[in-house]
Structure 1
Amino acid sequence: MSGSAPYPRTVRGTNLFDTDVNLHRLLERRAPHVMERHGERLSDFGAWAGTRLDEQAEYTDRFAPPKLDPYDGDGQRTGRVVFNSDYLDCHQEAYRRGAVGLPYAEGAERVSHAVCFAMGYLLSHADISIHCPVTMTGAVAHVLDTLAPADVRDRYLPEMTRMDGHTKSGGTWATELHGGSDVGATTTRAEQRNDGWRLDGVKWFTSNAGSGLALATARPADFDGRDVAGGRGLGCYLVPSHLDDGSPNHYRARRLKEKAGTRGLATAELDLLGAFAVEMAPPPVGLRVMMAALEYSRIHNAVGSAGMLRRAFLESAGWAFHRTAFGRTLRHYPMVQDQLLDMQMEMEAATALAFESVLAFDAQLQNPEGADWLRLVTALAKYRTAEQCVTACRRSVEMVGGNGYTEEWPTARLYRDCLVTAVWEGPANIQALELLRLVAGRRPGNQIFLARVGAVLSDLPNEAKLPGIADAAEILEGAMEECRAALSYLRGNPEEGPRHGRRLLELMSDTMAAALLLEEAVDELALGDRRKWLVARRFVHKVLAKSDPIGPDADPASAAFDAVLAYEPVD
């Protein structure tokens, strides 16, 4: 991307993968097998996402969102959800291209899940209302593959991983009106009958209401006919949309949610009216199975936030490079340059943090001892990427100005849609509680985190090789020591965890993001390119040190604005 206008005026019509130099370099460095084996597939996916998918997203959002058709011709209640054909076609096209099924393909070496997460990242640039159901389908498939009884896995997994245009999509039904994030408060009943299990209750927030197979939490009575309170009393059940004879299962949508964003995605309140279900896991492990699905979705939430953040950055950069005001294009104004550099910096930090979680997922499949690091870095990534995604999407509206606030421009939809990333699969407070379980209790998450950041510090070059690195290293080391002191205090005073958990989450996620950017910078310095170092240095000073003074010492990334923004080498 060289020349005076390295960014098109708007994103639609571009290949979202081929233009993503940052993602290419990350995958080449951390997951070279993905680029070697699936670079062409991802390129095709990026071209589709940047054209057909993005066109559909605008059409569905503005003109043809899903509708509830509550009654049939005889006046009987059905609760049928109706989608426009473009949405349905694009939804199936994502599966046909492998967004869920690739790791389960028969007759070939199993593909890393990183490929599917990269596809989720690309999907979210264009349509989070497609990315969300793809996420849940992947989550249910993962649970079927790893935790379901063999007969259940063999019966249902192929229906979710096929790539022939007839994939059954997934849902996760855990939220109830009185419980919210407290899944252990589930009151939906499960009753065993001769032909299987039957579920009765109300699920209050079921995204992808047209799913073919959904996981649901429910509470069966124990062998004495008593209820077991809390999460230990929950089973996990697989609920098909249709019975074996082709008739609809016994549940229906009460109404569709009227949401701020993700209007293309049908989210419903569901009445379970003796719905047929297959037991995935009985109490006391049912909640653990559902949480495995939600943890998978949290990784997708992180890559999706990073993808939306990049779209916001691209729309802002495109506008700045093509819009003229007061006789000059916006990109020549220093305040605009600062905004773009900050958005790009946060986008690269989000991508690094999200894909650290992705790679931890693949590593944990090979070595279960990595489970603690996976859960920890996923909590950090889910929190920080969502926070920065919302900030970036708001700034993209501001950058474009009045047009950016109208529905004719993609920034308005981006801003509405980005809000879901902060609440999807657990808001910040829930991620803070997850973090506390891993670092301030019996788990060794504190040691794992400090070792990961410490390894980055030990690999940094000296001041002679890279002027300015000593300051950055000192700031990162100071942040790590602040983390160490906080972790030590909370391990010794666990009752203080709920008060300080959110602050700890922010401190550790900022520190981890800075470490990952510096790690990337070291790798690119070995190739003679200082560009990533300028980005990492800016992040370390502005985010970790909270230093952005007004004075003569300009940030060096500002002096190299054109090269940094265009991903051109900096000597």
Structure 2
Amino acid sequence: MATDPIDYGALDEGRGCNYWELDPTLQFEAERIYPDDDFEWAEEVLSEFGDVLGHRMADTADRIDKEGHELCSFDKFGERRNEVEYHPLIEEQERITYEEFGVTHDAFHAPPGRDEPVGLSHTLMMQTLLSYVDAGFCCPVSMTTGAAIVLDKFDDGELSSYFEGLTARDLDTHIEGAMFLTEEQGGSDVGANETRAEPVEADDSVAAADIDRDRIYRLHGEKWFCSNIDAEGALALARTPGAPEGVDGLSLFLVPRTKPDGEVNEAHFRRLKDKLGTISVPTGEIQFEGAEAYLVGEEGRGFKYMSEMMNFERLTNATGALGVMGRGLLEAKVRAAQREAFGDAIDEYPLLRRDLVDMSVDYEAAAAFSFEAARTLDERERQGDDSDAYQLMRLFIPVAKYKTARMSVDMSSYAMEILGGNGYVREHTTERLLRDAQVLPIWEGPSNILALDVLRAFNREDAHEALVPYLQAKLDAVEHPALEPLAGTVEERFVELQNALASLATEDGDYAQYHAKRLADLVFDVVSGALLLEEAQEQIDADGNGRKALVATRFIETRFEDDEAYGVTSGERFAMDDETFAAIAKYASVEPETLVDAPTADD
């Protein structure tokens, strides 16, 4: 069925509109990855949510960002409060998200109009739309679902009241979740965490009368970056007495802001961070001073449990990046259709048209890859850890998070540029998109950590065993004459990817680390190319529409450069050399004579 071009010039800006209806990319991905009966139910929900976000929440998000929240650690009598005084408009956001649309409910309990819960792919699609208006607020929404995932999988029922609160659709009984990992000395090195968990003494009075006393501990230590600092369903890692060093010695605890008896827990909320962006989520520092906490699952398995939440949070980071990219692209397209220069709208000029096309293609590739990762997450839930879906999930999630985070920063920056000086002014949203996007490469692990996780997916999970037949099946299914040459190009890079993996298997660990990000780039591009070709073939077969074929063509022609395997098989070690690194990164002097023996690609 033929569709008319979207008239972006009919909009004044990227608000007062329906984000779902204006994003055929998300529509396509939802229909592709949802089970048929799920999409039939979800399509109307997604459209209603997109409309509410564009008309009710777009303005409130800007106001909350401008005015922020305030931490009250103590009351006027010096009694501990540990309470965030939220901007009054945050309740409107919470009511829309938690109560009206059940974003943290519907993956665990049947939503209205269904007999069964929906998959996490739907939750992530809703969060993508939410990030069109407020990626910061999407953080507590996501962590609430993430904490519920952990309790649903690993709690024996003693913490069921917290699970029910996290997944409640009634705002009056709903609580939010959080994930307190980072300590000042640890950062991404979670195994260096020092927070202690001491079992309660025999004569120690505890507030949780319904929880086995053997599972009640008191936490001592500091957590340095606590987003959603006042969450009642916060999960934290700590080390029990006699536990070994490293991640094997970490256990997981639920540590609420207030205890079951209503008293404020024994912790000190020191301050809120003065952040560049994501102002709508309060992030601060907590000093645990004997805080009552409840063991989740078994001792020593905390990092494994938290990894389940981390998988979801990394996908949230990726789909949140999509929301930022989608909104930035919308703002850019609207402005380009309206803004005149030298007598014509600027979207009439070839150079800007090229830019908008390439931005759109990047967005569609990022969406295809991210929601394919979401699909594997749901598939793994159904099939278990001994499945191809698990291997693909372990590979796709860190790649999705790494690539989309950086892409969202670049796209937000250029969207601001297209708006010109207005784009740099708060009232026009793009400056907030850029500020919010800048945290996405940091949240849930920076790019280097994610690249190392890609190596682990291949080395420990044998992800290549699932990846090779997965990609081959997609490329073999391409049969349209316009797509077959493109499939051949992707297949060549696919062979290079396999050669790169074989090369890394014979090299030392330092060499593998050195090339890890380029390997992740290659995985993203090859998989995205195959996905876009599959989508193009499906669209041609279903609708007789060649639009996706154009997207695939542009992506493949611009993405795959001349260098083989993105340099992974080159042997190049230039920046690994100590002297070279010190000279370039640390401004050390270099004797000219030594340049004759400088390391080459073959060294």
Cα 1:362–1:4 shift into 2, 3 Å: closer
Secondary structure of 1:278's partner?
Answer: strand
Aligned equivalents of 2:357, 2:170: Cα separation in 1: 42
Equivalent of 2:163 in 139, 154, 157: 157
Aligned residue in 1 for 2:220: 200
Q: Which residue of 2 aligns with 1:473?
A: 487
Letter of the 1:450 counterpart: V
- 1:446 paired with 2:464, answer yes
1:415-463 alpha-carbon deviations (Å, 9 max, x no partner): 1101111111011111111111111x242201222222211211111xx
1:135 to 132, 142, 149: 142
Say which is worse superposed, 297-306 or 493-502, in terms of deviation: 493-502
* Alignment check: 8 A CA contact 2:33 2:371 kept: no
Aligned counterparts of 1:481 and 1:184: Cα–Cα separation in 2? 37
Q: Distance in 2 between matches of 1:536 and 1:15?
A: 27
Q: How far 1:227 sits from its partner (Å)?
A: 4.1
Q: Which of 506, 509, 516 is equivalent to 1:492?
A: 506
Question: Deviation per CA, 1:460-511, whole angstroms, max 9, x where unpaired?
Answer: 11xxx423x3431222012111110111122233523222211111111121
What letter corresponds to residue 466 of structure 1 in structure 2?
P
Q: Which moved more, 1:273-282 or 1:316-325?
A: 273-282
Letter in 1 for 2:435: R
Kindly indicate whether residue 133 of structure 2 is the aligned counterpart of residue 126 of structure 1.
yes
5 Å matches for 1:102-113? 102-105=106-109, 108-113=115-120
Structure 1: give runs of 5+ residues left out of the alignment. Answer: 548-571
Q: Contact (CA 8 Å) 1:305, 1:418: kept in 2 or not?
A: yes
Amino acid at match of 1:169: E
Q: 2:238 aligns with which of 192, 204, 218?
A: 218
Q: C-alpha distance in 2, partners of 1:424/1:479?
A: 30
Q: Which amino acid aligns with 1:5?
A: D
Choose which of 129, 132, 146 in structure 1 pairs with 2:153: 146
Counterpart CA distance in 2 for 1:319 and 1:401 is 9
Q: CA offsets, 1:90-139, max 9 Å, x none?
A: 12421111111002225931212222111101011100111111110010
Contact conserved, 1:376 with 1:435, CA < 8 A, in 2?
Answer: yes
SS at match of 2:438: helix
2:377 and 2:461 map into 1 onto residues whose CA distance is: 18
Deviation at 1:412, TM superposition (A): 0.5
Q: How does 1:294-305 map to 2 (within 5 A)?
A: 294-305=310-321
Where structure 2 has 5 or more consecutive residues not aligned to the other structure, the ranges are 207-215, 564-603
Tell me if 1:186 matches 2:201: no
Q: Is the 8 A contact 1:9 1:315 kept in 2?
A: no
Partner AA of 1:430 in structure 2:
I
Q: 1:405 to 1:385 in 2, by over 3 A?
A: same
The amino acid that maps onto 1:75 is G
Contact 1:232–1:287 (Cα < 8 Å) also in 2: yes
Render the CA deviation track for 1:248-280: whole Å, top value 9, x for unaligned: 111231111111111121000111111111100
**SS of structure 1 residue aligned to 2:78:** coil
> Residue in 2 aligned with 1:172?
179
Partners of 2:346 and 2:20 in 1: CA distance:
26
Matched residue SS, 2:117: coil
Whether the aligned pair in 2 keeps the contact of 1:237 and 1:277 (CA below 8 Å) is: yes
After TM superposition, give the deviation of residue 546 of structure 1 in Å: 6.5
Aligned to 2:122: 115
The one-letter amino acid paired with 2:33 is R
Matched ranges for 1:377-392 at <5 A: 377-392=396-411
Deviation at 1:384, TM superposition (A): 1.2
Offset, 1:520:
0.6
> For residue 48 of structure 1, what is the aligned residue in structure 2?
52
Provide the residue aligned with 2:517 in structure 1. Answer: 502
Structure 2: distance between partners of 1:431 and 1:117: 20
The AA in structure 2 aligned to 1:218 is A
> Partners in 2 of 1:535 and 1:473 — Cα distance?
13
CA distance in 1, matches of 2:53, 2:288: 35
Please give the alpha-carbon distance, in whole angstroms, between the structure 2 residues aligned to 1:103 and 1:430. Answer: 29
d(CA) in 2 for partners of 1:231 and 1:499?
A: 24
Number of the residue aligned with 1:559: none
Does the 8 Å contact 1:99/1:116 carry over to 2?
yes
How far apart, CA to CA, are the structure 1 residues paired with 2:359 and 2:5?
Answer: 21
Contact 2:322 2:404 in 1 (8 A): yes
Query: Which ranges of 4 or more aligned residues in structure 1 deviate by more than 6 Å?
Result: none
Structure 1 residues 296-445: aligned runs within 5 Å: 296-368=312-384, 369=387, 370-439=389-458, 441-445=459-463
Partner of 1:60: 64
Paired with 2:105 and 2:562, the residues of 1 have a C-alpha distance of 44
> Which residue number corresponds to residue 475 of structure 2?
457
* 8 Å contact kept, 2:487–2:533: no
Aligned equivalents of 1:457 and 1:474: distance in 2?
8
1-structure distance, mates of 2:333, 2:283: 33
Q: 1:274 & 1:282 partners in 2: Cα distance?
A: 21
Root-mean-square deviation (CA), in Å? Answer: 1.7
TM-score by length of 2: 0.86
Q: How far 1:186 moved relative to its partner?
A: 0.7
Q: Hey, what's the Cα distance between the residues in 2 that align with 1:81 and 1:40?
A: 35
* 1:66-81 mapped onto 2 (5 Å cutoff): 66-81=69-84
SS class of match (1:520): helix
What is the aligned counterpart of 2:23 among 20, 23, 28?
20
* TM superposition shift of 1:184: 0.8
CA contact (8 A) 1:320 1:329 kept: yes
Partner residue of 2:265? 249
CA deviation profile, 1:157-177 (whole Å, cap 9, x unmatched) = 111101011310000001000
Is the CA contact (8 Å cut-off) linking 1:203 and 1:269 kept in structure 2? yes
- For 2:39 and 2:364, locate their aligned partners in 1 and report how far apart those are by CA, in whole Å: 19
SS in 2 for 1:235: strand
Residue matched to 2:209: none
Cα distance in 2 between the residues matched to 1:210 and 1:13: 32
- Provide closer, same or farther for how the CA distance between residues 458 and 206 of structure 1 changes in structure 2, counting only shifts above 3 A: same
Q: 1:3, CA displacement in angstroms?
A: 6.2
Deviation at 1:41, TM superposition (A): 1.4
Aligned with residue 105 of structure 2, among 101, 104, 108 = 101
For residue 75 of structure 1, report the CA deviation from its aligned partner.
2.9
- Scaled by the length of structure 1, the TM-score of the pair is 0.91
In the TM superposition, residue 155 of structure 1 has moved relative to its aligned partner by: 2.8
Q: Matched residues in 2 for 1:477 and 1:460: separation?
A: 11
The yes-or-no answer on 1:539 pairing with 2:555 is: yes
Indicate conservation of the 8 Å contact 2:273/2:284, yes or no. yes
Check the 8 A contact 1:234/1:282 in 2, yes or no. Answer: no
Q: Find the counterpart in structure 2 of residue 555 from structure 1.
A: none
Q: 1:87 to 1:281 in 2, by over 3 A?
A: same
* Residue deviations 1:28-62 (CA, integer Å, cap 9, x gap): 23323332012111111111111222111100111
Contact 2:398 2:453 in 1 (8 A): yes
Of residues 5, 8, 17, the one that matches 2:7 is 5
